[in-house]
Amino acid sequence: MARHSEQAMKLVVLDRDGTLNEDRDDFIKSADEWVPLPGALQAVAQLNHAGWHVVLATNQSGLGRGLFDMATMNAVQAKLNQLLTREGGRIDAVFFCPHVPDDGCDCRKPLPGLFRQIGERFGVDMKGVPVVGDSLRDLQAGAAVGCEPHLVRTGKSARLTDDEVQALAAQVPGTVVHADLAAFAAHWLEREKRAKAAAGAKG
């Protein structure tokens, strides 16, 4: 029964590398290598201030590959939290897959295991929850549990042409494309504002 009473919780799921911070082909192996994208932390804070809870769903196969350990992962998260606090924002939880592709887990995106974990942890139906990422697998993982897909043209998608971005988005029906996380936040909050205004007009 609790599931229904908590379902009103406003939740946004973000990818990390390439969406919130600069991506690296050689993995982010230290806190020093973690660099936020312009406007990304402010976007999280804006969502928070509007009542949205923000969680991360991130593949971190560098753990499984032995490129860094949990202490490093925690140090990166501590840096993220510290910088975000300065902006008045927060990340409510981090869900990550430490496995390498050959491990056969169900939590490595594009599989939806992380998103199922999020739904269970927060007691929410993931249908309609926005998922924001820079790659096809982010969108596929979220869409598998009914999330609303949003692609940002940063990270991996920054390397794509307009046609390639449209082709990628077409693989996950309903995908909305944004320049970056700040553009997503502006779009999402404006949409919420319009929905409230429409509901008020009907009332």
**Does this model's pTM top 0.85?**
yes
Alpha-carbon gap, residue 82 to 8, rounded angstroms: 28
25 catalytic? Reply is no
Nearest to 39 by CA among 21, 55, 13: 21
Work out whether the CA dihedral 118, 129, 177, 38 comes out positive or negative: negative
Distance CA 74, CA 10 (A): 26
Per-residue pLDDT of the chain (203 residues; tens, 9 = 90+): 334 434 469 999 999 999 999 999 999 999 999 999 999 999 999 999 999 999 999 999 999 999 999 999 999 999 999 999 999 999 999 999 999 999 999 999 999 999 999 999 999 999 999 999 999 999 999 999 999 999 999 999 999 999 999 999 999 999 999 999 999 999 999 999 999 999 888 76
Residue-range domains of the chain with CATH? 9-202 (3.40.50.1000)
Do the Cβ atoms of 152 and 133 come closer than 8 Å?
A: yes
Residue 17: active-site member? yes
Chain centroid to CA 185:
12
